[in-house]
Amino acid sequence: MCGIVGCVLDKKAAPIIIDSIKKLEYRGYDSVGIATVTDSINVKKGSGKIKEVDDEIKLKDIDGNIGIAHVRWATHGNPTKENAHPHCDCKNKISIVHNGIIENYKELRQELLNEGHVFKSETDTEVIPHLIEKYMDEGLDLLKSVQKTVKRLIGSYALAVLSSDEPDRIIGARNESPLIVGVSDHGNYLASDVPAILNETKKVIYLEDKEIIVLKKDDVTIMDLDLNVLEKKITTITWDPEMAEKGGYEHFMIKEIYEEPQVIKDTLSEAEKIKEIVSKFKNFNRICFVACGTSYHASLIGEYLIESQIGIPTEVILASEFEYFQKTLDKHTLVIFITQSGETADTIKALKIAKKKSETLAIVNVVGSSITREADHVIYTRAGPEISVAATKTYISQLICIYLLVAYLGENEKLLDNLYKISRLSEKILSREEQIREIAKKYKFARDFFYIGRGFNYPTALEGALKLKEITYIHGEGYPAGELKHGPLALIEDNIPVVGILPPGPSYRKTYNNLQEIKARGADMIILGANNDTHLDDIEDKLLFDPEIDEVLSPLLYIIDLQLLAYYISIEKGIDPDKPKNLAKSVTVE
């Protein structure tokens, strides 16, 4: 879960690279480094944030028109300068940056140690420059040495490689970790993700697994692992660079929450495409959702919707657990994969398994990402770049896609009509931001939170609790309201905040009774409900909505309150909500 950038330019590379690598901070990192080529390999790196390291060792002062850079999120070895990328060979003639995990690095490392190689880090990555050095010493050029090296690697990698023996190029390679190419009049780029290069170019080529690239200032050559040259399509990115900036907001997360009404409108514009995809589905009698994290919660709402509105048997499986369920797949199962980045490693692996037996559909935010090139059908969420690690607007856009899918599968015109009211209603929720901030001030010192909901809003409770955990570091649990007496009620005591999701509808009475049981045990209640609900007059902290929201649609709106609540608790605790500890935006390793 790292970010890499490389470029071959007609001007000094370091300032461009450092600016680019900053755009990948959202992926999570604990160290940073840069390498360029002049007469030799020049490396600067250190642990800490980019600004801290740059202030200390002046990353931008490094010379050279060709360079690579890396932000590292530690997997093998502590976040130290020695373990930071780039890594070099024994002779300091080769330097590489790597995103991914090399599963057989211990065997390779021992082999190289036996041959006299000396290692300076604890990382799995460092075996790569030493293998390349070994093959170059045998007389191979840089490209063929990289080719021979990657054929020996087991695991995932996105690589960018420099050599002082061939100082006019970068060799890149990809397998199960994202890597894109940027093409411009001033040179060419490699990067882990589009935002890194948007200030320099909007022309992008997406690399596939087991492809190698030779990047020069005026030329890009992409090959398979046997070095057969491939023809690749250039995609023009429609995002404006400013879309990936804060735009006057204090944090990306609050900016992205405020973008949700527009995101709802933009995603609804996909309605006709979704209708067309539904018309192409083959005969199926079962649906299976596969996802991780926030996308898993969106999938759970999909399960409730499909089962209740259409009656098709549906289940949701965590992508990391999918391989244990693959024997249940057949040609009559539609498997739906949901992922913001389209690069989630567990989800990609699950899709490759599912394709062998079933029809597949992907709901994805990033155009051209790995998942989009594997699935039989693709729906784009149109949320634009989401920089904050905690998913907000992409969750809403995933839900809109699911609701549209259900409306067309079930030929439900009423549901379809109601979806077009959601954007305006979401703006009303955002108008009570200050009320939510006051509630956040009251509960910022809580050690535990419980979130309670039934039916469609059990997944909303799970997602609300996840947001709290991610960005406030407060323990939060989401439960179905009916499960309280099966264990969780034992944990309820004086002053524990409990968030109750209580929209009007069939589940109201039972959920209300469950919340009364909690209140009787001294918990502090925060209730999301309807403005005309007189049963809530004695609740001090409540977020009530007018007009009344149908229970079926309530997950699309009540989650915005919970996103704002988590955000403001984070702010009140002095935590940066955009960069929660230990987490990364795109989980590109299993």
Cα angle 433-450-442, degrees, rounded to a multiple of 5: 45
Catalytic site residue from 2, 7, 88, 401 = 2
Give residues with Cβ within 8 angstroms of 353, minimum separation 6. 322, 323, 326, 329
Q: Which amino acid is at 315?
A: E
Burial 148-180 (b: 16+ CB within 10 A, else e): bbbeebebbbbbbbbbbebbebbbbbbbbbbbb
Q: For residues 402 and 393, is the Cβ–Cβ distance under 8 A?
A: no
Strands (E), 225-358: 235-236, 286-291, 314-318, 333-339
- What span, in angstroms and rounded, lies between the C-alpha atoms of 235 and 542? 47
Tokens of 85: 């990328």
- 331 to each of 46, 285, 287, 354, how far by Cα in Å? 52, 9, 11, 10
Q: For residues 324 and 318, is the Cβ–Cβ distance under 8 A?
A: no
Give residues with Cβ within 8 angstroms of 208, minimum separation 6. 174, 370, 373
- What span, in angstroms and rounded, lies between the C-alpha atoms of 293 and 479? 16
Is-catalytic flag, 585? yes
- 581 to each of 436, 469, 585, how far by Cα in Å? 24, 11, 11
- What span, in angstroms and rounded, lies between the C-alpha atoms of 552 and 549? 8
Give residues with Cβ within 8 angstroms of 141, minimum separation 6. 166
Is-catalytic flag, 2? yes
Across the strands, what pairs with 542?
527
Q: For residues 162 and 66, is the Cβ–Cβ distance under 8 A?
A: yes
Catalytic site residue from 22, 45, 93, 585 = 585
Among all residues, which ones are annotated catalytic?
2, 585
